Amino acid sequence: MSTDTFITGATGVVGGHLLRTLIDRGDRVTALVRSETDAEVMRSLGATPVLGDVTKPSGLSDAMWGASTVFHVAGVNEGCPKDVGLMESVNIGGAESVVEAAAHAGVGRVVLTSSVVAIGEAEGMIGTEETRHGGSYVSAYARSKHLGEQAALLAAERTGIELVVVNPASVQGPGRSSGSAELIRRVVTSRRPWLVDVTVSIVDIADCSRGHLLAAERGRPGERYILSGATLRVSDIVSIINHVAGTEIHPRWLSADLVRSVGLPVSRFVPSDRICPDMIRSLLHGHRYDNGRSRRDLGLTYTPIEDTFRTTIDWFRAEGLIP
């Protein structure tokens, strides 16, 4: 039996993979897009496009009418944002607007794509769904995702709609070449990269999509679910890349103290779209998350991290992004 599903953010990496997963299982999918060009892409994939914008609530409810589930994946994800106001409008206001529109349309459930950066754990601590936010933010992006999640939960409480939140870690896999994936590309193509041996959490893009589906099916309203397949140090990542890619990478390591004392001040005066105070603070904070709830309550199993890096690197090569 086909299910009517509505999705935002389907032109992005996470939303695009989720869209294809929904279509593959037989859902009738309506996708919110902002341009006719994107609409053509959605049609080619088998989805029904509808023009709209999460920052402009008018018409959203009509577009969602008849859907049983809304996946709100749309968001601005920039480590060094060019327009913080736009990021907040999309990530905070957009989250609230989508939940309210879904409630008015009679949708049964909304699954919100948040992020682990919304957890707000103290540096060096392991974040869980029950972690109390520390009240400070390592970046404008982290602030926008935390406040967006809170706005969505309050909207769900006001309207009575079921809302389930998923908090993916750094998403890696075929289709992603920017952000932290760009770091992986640089490591592969440089034999002596400069790196900082911090801790990161990663989730395979296929596991991320499955986590969304399971949250829609089994998640408890008002709860959040961390989607994180592995937590490891950058030095572990280098070892895995050397193993799966057949490379011989020998990094030059920078100490966290040096980056904090020198790199952070310099980044304030020489900002770019790759290096800025927000990016450095996020890097040095590190990321450690417990995926126990998603395993227990959703029944989500995770891809071995070696397989994630293997498929990612194979895709880079197929796309000509690395030799």
Q: Report, in angstroms and rounded to the nearest whole number, the Rg of the chain calculated over CA atoms.
A: 19
Residues in the chain: 323
Q: How much is the pLDDT for 2?
A: 63
**C-alpha distances in Å from residue 34, one per residue of 143, 242, 295, 306:** 25, 41, 35, 37
The DSSP secondary structure of 118-187, one letter per residue, reads GS-PPTTSPB-TTPPP-S--SSHHHHHHHHHHHHHHHHHHHH--EEEEEEE-EEESTT--STHHHHHHHH
State both tokens at 168: 């993916």
The tens-digit pLDDT sequence of the chain (323 residues) is 568 999 999 999 999 999 999 999 999 999 999 999 999 999 999 999 999 999 998 899 999 999 999 999 999 999 999 999 999 999 999 999 999 999 999 999 999 999 999 999 999 999 999 999 999 999 999 999 999 999 999 999 999 999 999 999 999 999 998 877 888 888 888 878 999 999 999 999 999 999 999 999 999 999 999 999 999 999 999 999 999 988 899 999 999 999 989 888 878 776 666 788 999 999 999 999 999 999 999 999 999 999 999 999 999 999 999 88
Q: How much is the pLDDT for 264?
A: 81
The closest of 104, 105, 107, 94 to 163, measured between CA atoms, is: 107
What pLDDT, in 10s, does the model give residues 155-189? 999 999 999 999 999 999 999 988 778 888 888 88
State both tokens at 264: 């952070």
Place of tokens 């935390």: 146
State both tokens at 87: 């990021």
The CATH number assigned to the domain with range 4-169+204-227 reads: 3.40.50.720
> Which secondary structure element, helix H or strand E, spans residue 70, and what is its range?
strand 69-72
Give the whole-angstrom CA distance, residue 300 versus residue 294.
6
Q: How much is the pLDDT for 179?
A: 77
Instruction: Give phi and psi for 75, each to the nearest 5.
Output: -175, 160
The closest of 176, 204, 175, 173 to 303, measured between CA atoms, is: 204
Q: How much is the pLDDT for 272?
A: 67
Question: CB–CB of 201/286 below 8 Å?
Answer: no
CB proximity list for 207: less than 8 A, separation 6 or greater: 227, 229, 300, 301, 302, 303
